[in-house]
């Protein structure tokens, strides 16, 4: 079977779904690799590097889709993608498909007869960790958010004792201690800042403190704040209102606020109000990693950096694409691990008793299979089914 690697068409996307080093690895599962010419160029992986590892190249995107049995993406086709016309029944599509935020594409993929797997839904179990693309990309986003803040802040991060006097360290407040938040903490600490952090899940306090940050306790009832798979659960508006009230003082004392509180498929909760921003010192920075979901800051504008009350509010999206070399490396490792679990001897093993396969299967045999996506599309529940053995 042939794995096709198309060049990404998502706006400003510089990553590639597979890198040359992964070509021999997936060959071990009986798969050969066909790459669209130039697919890895923006990430620092030239065509020659793919050829050196045994991949074939094609300059023709239509030919790629015609030849490939499996297509691996970073950003999979959405409802408006021209790639939908190139797909054919029986093909396998693997990638980040945003099924909870934009479920309409799932209907289109089902109508094409495509078997689609979404890496956003990889379960958080030990065996699936090598396939967890969300965690890989969140690591990069947290790192880059800390660098963005340090570059924009009109202060230095570390404490310095100099002949010209002592410079006090910058104060960074990280809201949300998931993968991105923890990496933002680590990076900010390495740069010399004093870091505080908050999360509605009290179980992460030990992780925060182990990284040298101080965990902010707001004295709120947080029972049930952790959902399935270790993700934060969306709370009620009254909870968020009270949270904003008690968080305001910490925000006002901070030079940098990095927010990371996103709930898959839901509007991001507003945690930093315009009034809280107005109480921050002039020159302070807010970096909102939840911008794509509407933002944790009331003043955030996705894809823009704005000024309000002397404070800079950055609303970056797709930060991993700004570090495309290593982001592609990490993502390609996730994809290769997923392929290794899904294929053996060049054959698809659609074993729905495997929670990784079951949870990530979006469409198959003309149907949207994921329960949550079916609900979002207003489709009736499917009858229980199992599928074992091979398919191609």
What's the CATH code, domain 2-121+323-391?
Answer: 3.40.50.720
pLDDT for 391 equals 44
pLDDT for 243 equals 80
Set 56, 124, 214, 242: catalytic member? 124
Set 129, 210, 249, 267: catalytic member? 129
- How far, CA to CA in Å, does 368 sit from each of 62, 72, 102, 125? 25, 19, 14, 24
Mean pLDDT: which of 143-152, 193-202, 236-245 is highest? 143-152
pLDDT for 387 equals 41
Q: Where are the domains of the chain?
A: 2-121+323-391, 140-317
Indicate if 124 belongs to the active site.
yes
Closest CA to 75 of 231, 292, 232, 373: 292
* Domains 2-121+323-391 and 140-317 agree in fold: yes
Indicate if 135 belongs to the active site.
yes
Indicate if 129 belongs to the active site.
yes
Q: Of 311-315, 361-365, 382-386, which gets the smallest average pLDDT?
A: 382-386
Tell me the CB-side half-sphere exposure of residue 284, using CA atoms within 13 A. 22
Task: Fold for 140-317, please state it.
Answer: Rossmann fold (3.40.50)
Largest CA distance in the chain: 74
Phi, psi of 385, deg, nearest 5: -150, 160
Pair 357, 351: CB distance under 8 Å: yes
Whether residue 222 is predicted with pLDDT greater than 60 in this model: the reply is no
pTM: 0.91
Set 81, 135, 347, 392: catalytic member? 135
* Token output for 207: 């992780």
Burial class (CB in 10 A: 0-12, 13-18, 19+), 367: middle
Whether residue 147 is predicted with pLDDT greater than 50 in this model: the reply is yes
Overall average pLDDT of the 302-315 stretch = 97
* Token output for 116: 């689609």
pLDDT for 265 equals 77
Residue 392 — very low, low, confident or very high, per pLDDT cuts 50/70/90?
A: very low
* Token output for 201: 């899940």
Overall average pLDDT of the 281-295 stretch = 96
Phi, psi of 309, deg, nearest 5: 55, 30
**Mean pLDDT for the chain?**
92
Set 132, 199, 288, 359: catalytic member? 132
Q: Of 55-64, 249-258, 342-351, 375-384, which gets the smallest average pLDDT?
A: 375-384
Q: Give the pLDDT confidence of 87-137 residue by residue, as tens digits.
A: 999 999 999 999 999 999 999 999 999 999 999 999 999 999 999 999 999
Overall average pLDDT of the 4-10 stretch = 97
């Amino acid at each position: 079977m042939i794995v096709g690697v198309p060049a990404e068409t998502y706006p400003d996307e510089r990553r590639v779904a597979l890198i040359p080093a992964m070509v021999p690895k997936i060959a071990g599962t009986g798969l050969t690799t066909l790459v669209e010419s130039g697919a890895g160029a923006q990430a620092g992986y030239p065509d020659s590097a793919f050829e050196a590892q045994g991949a074939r190249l094609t300059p023709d995107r239509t030919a790629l889709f015609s030849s490939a049995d499996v297509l691996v993406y970073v950003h999979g086709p959405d409802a408006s993608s021209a790639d939908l016309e190139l797909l054919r029944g029986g093909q396998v599509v693997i990638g980040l498909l945003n099924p909870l935020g934009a479920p309409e594409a799932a209907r289109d993929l089902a109508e094409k007869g495509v078997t689609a797997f979404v890496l956003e839904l990889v379960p958080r179990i030990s065996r699936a960790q090598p396939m967890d693309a969300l965690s890989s990309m969140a690591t990069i986003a947290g790192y880059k958010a800390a660098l963005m803040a340090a570059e924009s802040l009109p202060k230095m991060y570390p404490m310095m004792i100099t002949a010209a006097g002592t410079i006090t360290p910058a104060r960074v407040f990280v809201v949300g201690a998931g993968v991105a938040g923890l990496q933002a903490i680590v990076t900010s600490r390495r740069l010399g800042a004093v870091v505080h952090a908050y999360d509605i899940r009290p179980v992460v306090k030990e992780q925060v403190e182990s990284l040298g940050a101080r965990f902010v306790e707001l004295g709120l009832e947080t029972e049930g704040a952790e959902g399935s798979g270790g993700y934060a659960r969306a709370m009620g508006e009254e909870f968020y209102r009270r949270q904003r009230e008690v968080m305001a003082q910490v925000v006002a004392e901070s030079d940098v606020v990095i927010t990371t509180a996103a709930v898959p498929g839901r509007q991001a909760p507003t945690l930093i109000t315009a009034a809280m921003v107005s109480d921050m010192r002039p020159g302070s920075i807010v970096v909102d990693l939840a911008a794509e979901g509407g933002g944790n800051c009331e003043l955030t504008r996705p894809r823009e950096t704005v000024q309000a009350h002397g404070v800079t509010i950055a609303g970056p999206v797709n930060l991993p694409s700004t570090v495309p070399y290593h982001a592609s490396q990490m993502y390609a490792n996730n994809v290769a691990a997923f392929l290794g679990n899904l294929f053996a001897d060049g054959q698809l093993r659609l074993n729905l008793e495997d929670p990784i396969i079951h949870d990530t299967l979006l469409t198959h045999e003309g149907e949207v299979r994921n329960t949550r996506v079916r609900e979002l599309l207003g489709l009736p529940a499917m009858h229980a089914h199992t599928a074992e053995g091979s398919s191609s």
